[in-house]
Amino acid sequence: MNKEKYQLHTKEISINIVQTEINSIRRKDILKTGIRIYKDGKIGVAGSLGKYDENKLEHDAIENLNLNIPYEYPLTKNVNREEVKIAELSENEFVNQTEKMLKTIKEKHNDFIFSNKIVLKDSIKLLENDLNTRLYSENKYFSFELGFKHKDSINILDGFIGYESFDFSYDKFINMIDEICNAYNTIIDIKEGEYPIIFTSSDFTLLKKFYTDLNGLSFGGGSSIFSDKLNKKLFSDNFTLYQSRNYDDGIIWDFFDAEGTTNTDDRCSLIENGVLKSPYTDKKTSKMFNLPLTGAAGGEYDSVPSIGYVPLIIKKSDKTIKELLNGENGILVFVASGGDFTPEGKFGTPVQLAFMYDGERILGRVPEFKLNSDLYRMFGDAFRGVGRNSILSLDKVYGAVIDMKVVR
């Protein structure tokens, strides 16, 4: 019999913003603890919110072995690692800096209204067992989740700025707001045709087909567009897709999954230089379909681990965005909602907010349009690469440049 503890501790200070002013401040402190017992190819799980009695949880988990839930996979053993990344700003300083920032924005851009929230998050994750494994991750960081609206607009929101960082840089944030607001009021019309389009390299709209069809269950079960294409060349030599937990990729995430699986450099290549290497998998999916284990297990603290969500991101090139644009202006997509891929890989999406971008600065706002393309072209001949420099003044937010058709 083996015992394992899986613990999630989330602490937050959320500053709610209405009319570009602090409306309220909320605090959250949630501790979730799960105990897993493994015996004879079975798993029993018990969990508790807040304070807990570990002996009682262990007793309940042992009792739950009677549910006969199978778990026939080797536990992570002899792995000890601790990673702590802490934003260097106290709670009081966080509130004061936010208040100062909002005051500046309101004075400089009183034709815009900002709302939603800025959050200081502290996310702690622990997995330890009696096979000499202890994995501990703590990330204390800022989450900027701001919507904005022009006062003359009939829309509820005209745009959204969302990113995460360990750095609350007042100057960088104000510079970014200045650039967006100033460019918003400058309209640059475009005609139908092909343009270099810039998405962030982790944009879900852009990568949705990989999330759905590189899921190990759909891949192994034969329902994925990629099911029969393992180790085949499908995309550009310049296209590598990571399952990543590495902050160098702009990912703030725990370095291990719900089963304690880790990867070298906290990355796993699913597609490498255009060649499909693997779907993302947990231990069950890996064994069931004889696939590589990538460490994509998720699940609640009191549930049996299963395949879950894991961040996907495109590898950066050695060129800047300006170099990838090669003298052209690109269209930087800020909001593209309502699009999707067909089962065959055809892609289309309306773009509600985008800006003309020269690779270094925003030149003006582009009226709403639609994008059409195809998965294999987007990441094949039309894929220019991901710039090694961050977009605007944002921290570790990288742009993927892809030639796509604009429809008006």
pLDDT tens readout for residues 358-387: 999 999 999 999 999 999 999 999 999 999
Of residues 396 and 8, which shows the higher confidence score? 8
Using a cut of 0.85, tell me whether the model's pTM lies above it: yes
Q: Kindly provide the residue ranges of all beta strands, DSSP E only, lying in 40-132, ordered along the sequence.
A: 42-49, 69-70, 80-86, 112-129
Q: In terms of domains, do 308 and 341 share one?
A: no
| End residue of a domain, out of 297, 314, 331 | 314
Asked if 133 and 76 touch (Cβ cutoff 8 Å), the reply is yes
Task: State both tokens at 211.
Answer: 């999330």
- Least confident span in 9-23, 67-81, 150-164: 150-164
Q: Give the Cα separation of 209 and 235 in Å (integer).
A: 14
Asked if 6 and 258 touch (Cβ cutoff 8 Å), the reply is yes
Q: For 197-229, give the DSSP string.
A: EEEETT-HHHHHHHHHHSBHHHHHHT-STTTT-
Q: Give the Cα separation of 48 and 35 in Å (integer).
A: 9
- Nearest to 128, CA basis, from 239, 278, 260, 270: 260
208-219 residue pLDDT tens: 999 999 999 999
Which domain, by its residues, includes 223? 209-314
* Residue-level pLDDT at 163: 85
Q: How many domains does the chain have?
A: 3
* Residues in the chain, total: 408
| End residue of a domain, out of 314, 330, 358 | 314
Q: In terms of domains, do 306 and 352 share one?
A: no
* Residue-level pLDDT at 170: 87
Q: In terms of domains, do 172 and 285 share one?
A: no
Q: In terms of domains, do 156 and 223 share one?
A: no
Q: Give the Cα separation of 139 and 133 in Å (integer).
A: 20
* Residue-level pLDDT at 382: 98
Asked if 20 and 102 touch (Cβ cutoff 8 Å), the reply is yes
Q: In terms of domains, do 310 and 323 share one?
A: no
- Which residues share a beta bridge with 370? 350, 407
Q: Give the Cα separation of 160 and 352 in Å (integer).
A: 11
| End residue of a domain, out of 184, 218, 245 | 184
Scored b (16 or more CB within 10 A) or e, 272-286 reads eebbbbbbbbbbbbb
228-252 residue pLDDT tens: 999 999 999 999 999 999 999 999 9
Scored b (16 or more CB within 10 A) or e, 291-301 reads bbbbbbbebbb
* Residue-level pLDDT at 273: 98
Q: In terms of domains, do 162 and 15 share one?
A: yes
Task: State both tokens at 253.
Answer: 């995430």
Confidence label for 260 from pLDDT (cuts 50, 70 and 90): very high
Q: In terms of domains, do 54 and 154 share one?
A: yes
CA within 13 Å, CB half, 330: 29
Confidence check: pLDDT of 395 > 80: no
Q: In terms of domains, do 35 and 148 share one?
A: yes
Q: In terms of domains, do 258 and 323 share one?
A: no
Q: In terms of domains, do 309 and 323 share one?
A: no
- Which residues share a beta bridge with 37? 3, 44
Q: In terms of domains, do 139 and 270 share one?
A: no
* Residue-level pLDDT at 88: 86
Asked if 106 and 151 touch (Cβ cutoff 8 Å), the reply is no
Mean residue pLDDT across the chain? 96
Asked if 295 and 269 touch (Cβ cutoff 8 Å), the reply is no
Asked if 36 and 43 touch (Cβ cutoff 8 Å), the reply is yes
CATH number of the domain residue 132 falls in: 3.30.2290.10
Asked if 149 and 158 touch (Cβ cutoff 8 Å), the reply is yes
Confidence check: pLDDT of 394 > 80: no
Q: In terms of domains, do 9 and 150 share one?
A: yes
Using a 10 angstrom Cβ sphere, with 0-12 exposed, 13-18 middle and 19 or more buried, the burial of residue 146 is: buried
Task: State both tokens at 196.
Answer: 């270099």
